[in-house]
Structure 1
Amino acid sequence: MNKYALITGASKGIGKAMANSLARSGYHLLLIARNETELQLLSQSIEQAYQVKAHYLSADLSLSTAANQVKEWCTGITPDLSILINNAGYGLWGNFELLSLPEQLNMLRLNIDAVIELTWHLLPILRKQKQSYILNVSSTAAYQAVPTLALYAASKSFILSYSRALRYELKDSPVSVSCLCPGPTATGFSSRAGMDSLAELAEKFNMTSENVANTGLNGMFKKKAEIVPGFLNKVSVFGTWILPKSLIESITAGLYKQ
């Protein structure tokens, strides 16, 4: 099999778990993250374990030049890209007015702009395949406003809405678009977001990265529009459809209060 999958945020967490799962299935990999050392170690371990090619690129996808850099790198390696997984992203915890504006804007660049730009640049390649897939990683935070994670939740709502619209636009093409919306996952998200004080609470509800990754990939290959891993997460999403928004916001504010 000469099929390639490109994964952003591939050096740890859900992205790393997806990389191992796809390599196990025979996919060659294009791995992107900022930490070159972690990427190199992952690439080596995957190539040794699964006898596939695992190329890697250390890049800051929040930079405006990054998407074109990725496209040039990708096309220089293979014309056979059949999976694009937009997984890179992070959150910042705190009241909007108290957080650094440059840091919040950088988060939006990665969570939103990088997804748009990478997809736009790589979609012509994906269209040339007999069957190809785009999997955008959002969050259960996409289904409601989350005080103290205001812009993170809003960015994930954008990704969910964008994914569904793009899915419809491409419904008569070879490209299937899915959106993965995990809940709390053992990925290091809480630490990156500055939520160490809530780590003990998060551990009670965390799914493993491997479970989330496998659920996401299975849903992607089944061409599902939205994929919510875990029973409790499905229940919480259902609750956002039937309960008043003001009540949901009060509940989430209580969970994430500082």
Structure 2
Amino acid sequence: MKDKKIVITGAGRGLGRALAIVAADQGAIPLLLGRSEEALQQVHNTIKSRTGISAPTFVCDLSDTTSVTNAANHITYSHPNIDILVNNGAHFTEGAFEKQSTDQVVSVVNSAVTGTMILTKELLPLLRQRSHANIHNVVSMSGLPYARLTGASLPFRAAKAAQDGFTQGLVEELHGSSVRITSVYPGLIEDVSPTDEAWDKQRDLSEGITNKDVVDTILYALCAPSNVSLRSIVIELNGVEVTNTNIKPPTGWTVKYEDFGSESEWGEDGEVADLVSAYGISGEVRPLFRTRYSGNEVIFIVEINSQYYVYDGQSGWVQRIVTPTDLREIVEFINEQGWFRLETENLG
């Protein structure tokens, strides 16, 4: 990575920020693109203080084609010798489809699809001039046909599916050229920073995927020999994924792996699945949060087919949560009023 110029979208926060810092640690020169000049400047300052490298910043809103074109023009003029483009930025929304505003839908699709394609098209001539260049797209497991609709909104999932189609088409179109196309498909990611102690923490099977896992994978793909193309890398948790949400549980509830029981209990043919099917519900049962009340009674919030339910692990009853319908709102409601005040519907 030494002396490579790497353009990174969404570089002001999260995964893009982490990738920029680590790439600079390895000697690369990041070109930082993002919506917030203030956030980009903070990343610039962090990189400068750690490495002495000056990472140029470019304000770029991927949902605005004029902003994208302007950023591409500035890069073409000031840094025509780029080596790598990492398409990481995208607007994220969650919640039910009917609750998404028109502006949200347009923003999500434009940033992940239109903006990404335009930026790639504008910078491709620069990359073609290099003897060896890379375009790396950070897609998402949400863009895969078999992915569960978890956390992310339907517009985000649709946009990521389109981004996946663009990625695979680009692989075919540029096959045999000096520009290599690689991509990663991470699931939900815990946001940790290279500037924090948590970055180097050794994690076990009870803990989820972090920015570090994805950054390490991206850099591995980019540093592979030029005759090797790691076309698509799906990043999943290596273990029993009993819970898969980046939402902090309600106060007094837990998401700890060991508190959910065995894989067989929650599996497709497990005890809970059999119980739920007896209520006339079909679909994978995904435990999210767990708590105890009134002695040894165990209560779970679970997700089935993008709907949320209360499940009593002792007596075996299941109730559908009528309102709120959004998981974050459910957590807020429980914190304020208690889970027993949720509006629920008896089943069976």
**TM-score tier (shorter):** 0.7 to 0.9
Equivalent in the alignment of 2:45 = 44
Pick from 207, 229, 232: which aligns with 1:226?
Answer: 232
Q: Is the 8 A contact 2:59 2:71 kept in 1?
A: no
CA deviation digits over 1:186-242, x for unaligned, max 9? 249xxxxxxxxxxxxxxx764221221111221233331112224449x9xxxxxxx
**Which of the pair has the greater relative contact order for Cα pairs under 8 Å at 6+ separation?**
1
Deviates more, 1:80-89 or 1:210-219: 210-219
Q: Is the 8 A contact 2:8 2:32 kept in 1?
A: yes
Output the CA distance in 2 between the equivalents of 1:88 and 1:52.
22
Amino acid at match of 2:214: V
Q: Is the 8 A contact 1:112 1:158 kept in 2?
A: yes
Output the CA distance in 2 between the equivalents of 1:113 and 1:18.
23
Amino acid at match of 2:217: T
Output the CA distance in 2 between the equivalents of 1:211 and 1:39.
22
Pick from 184, 190, 202: which aligns with 1:186?
Answer: 190
1:100 is aligned to 2:101: yes
CA deviation digits over 1:102-147, x for unaligned, max 9? 2111111111111100000000100000111111111111123627
1:162 is aligned to 2:166: yes
Amino acid at match of 2:62: L
Amino acid at match of 2:179: V
Equivalent in the alignment of 1:191 = none
1:253 is aligned to 2:306: yes
CA separation of 1:252 and 1:90: change in aligned 2, threshold 3 A? farther
Q: Is the 8 A contact 1:3 1:80 kept in 2?
A: no
Q: Is the 8 A contact 2:208 2:237 kept in 1?
A: no
Output the CA distance in 2 between the equivalents of 1:60 and 1:142.
21
Secondary structure of 2:18 counterpart:
helix
CA separation of 1:39 and 1:19: change in aligned 2, threshold 3 A? same
CA deviation digits over 1:154-174, x for unaligned, max 9? 111111121111012111111
1:180-219 → structure 2 map (5 Å cutoff): 180-187=184-191, 206-219=208-221
Pick from 149, 163, 166: which aligns with 1:146?
Answer: 149
**Unaligned stretches of 5+ in structure 1?**
189-203, 236-242
| Structure with greater Cα Rg | 2
Q: Is the 8 A contact 2:21 2:46 kept in 1?
A: no
Q: Is the 8 A contact 2:61 2:68 kept in 1?
A: no
Output the CA distance in 1 between the equivalents of 2:219 and 2:24.
12
Output the CA distance in 2 between the equivalents of 1:25 and 1:161.
31
Amino acid at match of 1:142: G
**Greater helix share, 1 or 2?**
1
What is the TM-score with the length of structure 1 in the denominator? 0.81
Output the CA distance in 1 between the equivalents of 2:179 and 2:283.
38
Output the CA distance in 2 between the equivalents of 1:252 and 1:221.
39
**Unaligned stretches of 5+ in structure 2?**
193-205, 242-267, 269-281, 286-302, 310-324, 327-348
Amino acid at match of 2:120: T
RMSD of the TM alignment (CA)? 2.8
Query: Identity over aligned residues, as a percent?
Result: 27
What is the TM-score with the length of structure 2 in the denominator? 0.61
Secondary structure of 2:186 counterpart:
coil
Output the CA distance in 1 between the equivalents of 2:161 and 2:222.
19
Output the CA distance in 2 between the equivalents of 1:221 and 1:255.
43
CA separation of 1:35 and 1:208: change in aligned 2, threshold 3 A? same
Equivalent in the alignment of 1:109 = 110
CA deviation digits over 1:43-93, x for unaligned, max 9? 122123223230002232211202211111112222210100111113222
Deviates more, 1:86-95 or 1:121-130: 86-95
Secondary structure of 2:117 counterpart:
helix
Secondary structure of 1:180 counterpart:
strand
Equivalent in the alignment of 2:83 = 82
Output the CA distance in 1 between the equivalents of 2:119 and 2:305.
32
Structure 1 runs (4+) deviating above 4 angstroms are: 246-252, 254-257
CA separation of 1:86 and 1:170: change in aligned 2, threshold 3 A? same
Q: Is the 8 A contact 2:82 2:127 kept in 1?
A: yes
